[in-house]
Amino acid sequence: MQLAPLPVVVPLAVAAALAIIGKHLHRRIVDSISIATSAAVVIISITLTFQSANGAIVYWFGNWQPLAKSHFPIGICFAIDPIGAGLSSLAALLVLAAFTFSWSYFESVGALYHVLMLVFLAAMCGLALTGDLFNMFVWLEVMTAVGVALCGYKSEQSQSLQGALNFAVVNTIGAFLSLMGVALLYGATGSLNLAEVGRTLAAGHFSQGFVTVALLLVTAGFLVKSATFPFHFWLADAHAVAPTPVCILFSGVMVELGLYAIGRIYWVVFAQSAQPAPQTIRDVFLLMGSLTAVVGALYCFGQRHLKRLLAFSTISHVGIMLIAFSLLNPRALAGMALYLAGHGLIKAALFIGAGILLHRFGSLDEYDLQRSIAKRLAPIGVLMVLGAWGLAGLPPFATFFGEMRIDEIGSQQHLTWLPAITIFAEALTAAAVLRFTARVFFGVGRQGKSMVSAGAPHLHTDAETSGQHSRVPAFMWVPMAALIIGAALIAVPLRGPVETAAKHFESAPLYDAAVLRINAQTAAPRPYDRPFEAHGESEWWIPLLVALATLGAAAASLFPKSPRTAFARPIGAVLSKTVLELRRFQSGRVGDYVAWFAFGIAAYGSLLLLLH
C-alpha cells in the first residue's frame, strides 16, 4: 500500500464528505471522525518518517515519472525525507490535540469548523512533503485561505474580522510575490520541480542579480507566513482573535512551516549555484533572525493578554530558528529541527492553558485574572511553568538540545554576540509566561500596574464557551500534559537521527539523485561543498545564564518595588520605554503592515545584493 499521498488525500476526502453530511450528524460523531482522521494521519506520517530514514521516498502523482532519456520531470512529486515527514507528523499531532481540546469547547457552525481544520491539516502536510515549487505555492495558498476563515471564525466580533483581514491582506501580498518568484524561476529554467530548477540554475549562467531577486521573491510569501520582522505584525493580531485550537496550529506548526519551506527552497534550488554567495545568505538571514528574535521578545514581555503574549513569543522563537537556518550548517539545522519540534509542542500546550483560562473565566487579561486568582487551577499552573521552562531552552526539553547546537555552531563561526540574542529572546519570553503564571495561577506579585505593562490597552476577549465552568475537562488538561511531556521525551531519541536527516536535507546532489533518478556521484553539475560544515565546543553556560535571566526578569516585573529587584530597575525602565515605542508600530492598520512589507522586502533585497 502506498502511504505517501495519504496525509493529504485522507483529510481532504473526509473534509469534503463532512461538508456534505456533517450538518445531519451529531456533533460528537463529527468530533470523533475528525479525531480519528487526524490520528490516522499521525500514524501514517510517523510511518513515513521511519521509512524515509533509509532514503527519500519519491512519489510521482499520476504516475508521471521523469522522461526516460533526459530525466526531465513532467509531473508533480512528493519527495519525502525524515524532516518533511516529521513536520507532517507534528502538524497532524497538533491537529489531533486541537480536536481533542475542542471536544468540550467551542460551538461549531454545522461541521464547518471541522472541515476547515481538516483541509488545513492536508495543506500543511502537502507543503511539508512536496518536491515541486508550484505545488508548494498551492499549499501555501490553501493554508492562507483556511487560516483566514478560521481566524475570523468568531465573526460576530469586529476584532475577529479585523484580525482575519490583516492576515488575508498581508499573506496574500506575500504569496503574490512568491508566485512572481516561481514564475521567474520557471521562465528561466523551464521547470517547476525543485530538483530540476536547482540543477538548471547551477548548470546555467545566470546573473547574480537575477538569482538574488528570484530567491527574495520566492521566499517572500514564506517570510510573511513565518512572521519574520518586519512582516510579523499580522501574526499577533490574528492570534489575539483566533479561537484557541486555531492558535495551537498557527503558532505550533504553520509559522514553522514557512521556515521549513525557506530552508527546503534554499538548499535544493539555490545552494548548488552558490548564488547569492553563502556568506551573503548567512549575514542577511542572521540579521533577519536576530531582529525578529529581539523585537518579538520585547513585545512579548510587554503583553498582559495571554494569547498576544504567546504570539509574540512565537515570533521571537521563529527568530532563533531563522538564526539556526542562517548558519548554513547541518548541525545547526539539526538544532533547528529539535528546537522546532520542542517549541511546537510546548507552544501548543501553553495555548491550551490559555484556552482553559478562557473556558473557566472568560478572560485572558493578566490583571483581570489576578483578581479572580485561579488557585484551584494550580496543576495547570505547574504545567504552564514547565512550558516556560521549555521556552527558555532548558533541559530536558527538546528546545534545550536545539539551542545547544545552535550556540555551538554560532561560536564556531566566531559570532560572539549570538548568545546575547538567544539569551535575551529566551529569557524574556520565558519570563513573560512565568510572570503571567505566577500572577494568575499562584497569586504572586503586586496587584495592578507593573513597570512594563503600563498603558497597555485593555483587551477584551469574549469567552469561547457559554457560562462559567467549575472544573477543567479531561479533554483539555490531558492533551496539555501530554504535549509538555512529549516535548521532553522526544528530545533524546531524536538527537541522533535528526543529525543524519539534516545532513541529507542540506545535500542537493543527494536530493536530485533521489528525485530525478540520476547517479548521485555525477548529480552535482559543479563541484559543491558546504562552506560552514564543522562542529564546535558545547556552550554549557548559556542555558545557565538563560535560567538566571528568566528568573530575574520575572521577579523584577512581579515585585517592581522590592529592594531585591533594584538591580533590574534601570534595565526595566529602558525596556518599558522601548516596548511603548514599539507598540505604536503594532497599530492594527493593514496599510501600515503593507508599508512595512514593501520596505522590508526592498531592504533585504538591497542587502542581499550589496553585501556580495
Task: Please work out, in degrees rounded to the nearest 5, the angle formed at the alpha carbon of residue 73 by the alpha carbons of 67 and 79.
Answer: 125
Nearer to other proteins, 246 or 337 (CB): 246
Instruction: Name beta bridge partners: 59.
Output: 78
Closest to other proteins by CB, 63 or 470: 63
DSSP secondary structure code for residue 397 in this structure: S
Instruction: Kindly state the smallest distance separating residue 178's Cβ from other proteins, in Å.
Output: 14
**Please, are residues 146 and 119 in contact by the beta-carbon 8 Å criterion?**
yes
CB of 155 to other proteins, least distance (A): 5
Nearest 5 degrees, angle CA 135-CA 506-CA 177? 40
* Residue 283, C-alpha cell as written in the block: 549575514
| CA–CA gap between residue 67 and residue 78 (Å, rounded) | 17
Q: What minimum distance in Å lies between the beta carbon of 188 and other proteins? A: 4
- Strands in 290-343 per DSSP E: none
Distance in angstroms (rounded) separating the CA atoms of residues 186 and 204:
14
Smallest separation (angstroms) from other proteins to the CB of 517: 15
Residues 516, 286: Cα–Cα separation, whole Å: 32
Least separation, in Å, of the C-beta of 186 and other proteins?
A: 8
At closest approach, how far in Å is the CB of 272 from other proteins? 17
Task: Provide, rounded to whole angstroms, the least separation between the CB of residue 508 and other proteins.
Answer: 19
Q: Which is nearer to other proteins, 67 or 454 (CB)?
A: 67
CB of 611 to other proteins, least distance (A): 15
CB 380, min distance to other proteins, A: 30
Identity of the residue, 518 or 594, whose beta carbon is nearer to other proteins in the bound complex: 594
What burial class does residue 157 get, using C-beta atoms within 10 Å of its C-beta: 0-12 exposed, 13-18 middle, 19+ buried?
Answer: middle
What is the rounded CA–CA span in Å between residue 77 and residue 520? 19
Taking the complex as a whole, how short is the minimal distance between the CB of residue 260 and other proteins, in angstroms?
A: 17
Closer residue to other proteins (CB): 378 or 595: 595
Nearest CB to other proteins, comparing residues 127 and 418: 127
**From the CB of 415, what's the least distance to other proteins, in Å?**
28
Distances in Å between the Cα of 485 and the Cα atoms of 342, 480, 504, 597 are 10, 9, 29, 38
Cβ closest to other proteins, residue 59 vs residue 222 = 59
**Nearer CB in complex with other proteins: 32/586:** 586
* Residue (14 or 321) nearer to other proteins, CB: 14
d(CA 463, CA 226): 28
Instruction: Reduce the DSSP state of residue 306 to 3 states and report it.
Output: helix
Q: How far is the CB of 263 from other proteins (least distance, A)?
A: 21
List for the chain the helix, strand, coil content (%; round to 5): 75, 0, 25
Please give the torsion angle defined by the CA atoms of residues 583, 589, 592 and 598, in that order, rounded to the nearest 10 degrees: 120
Three cell numbers, residue 592: 501600515
Residue 352, number of CB atoms within 10 A of its CB: 33
CB of 396 to other proteins, least distance (A): 39
**Closer to other proteins at the Cβ: 109 or 416?**
109
Three-class SS state of 34: helix
Torsion angle in degrees (nearest 10) through CA of 105, 111, 117, 118 = 130
Q: Can you tell me the distance from the alpha carbon of 495 to that of 502, in angstroms, rounded to the nearest whole number?
A: 11
Q: Which is nearer to other proteins, 130 or 314 (CB)?
A: 130
For the chain, the residue count is: 612
User: What backbone torsions phi and psi does residue 59 show, to the nearest 5 degrees?
Assistant: -130, 115
**406, 394, 244: which is closest to 333 by C-alpha?**
406
564: Cβ contacts below 8 Å, ≥ 6 apart: 555
- Which residues partner with 79 through β-bridges? 58
State how far the Cα of 184 lies from the Cα of 156, in Å rounded to an integer.
42
Query: Which of 137/339 has CB closer to other proteins?
Result: 137
Q: For residues 134 and 475, which CB has a smaller minimum distance to other proteins in the complex?
A: 134
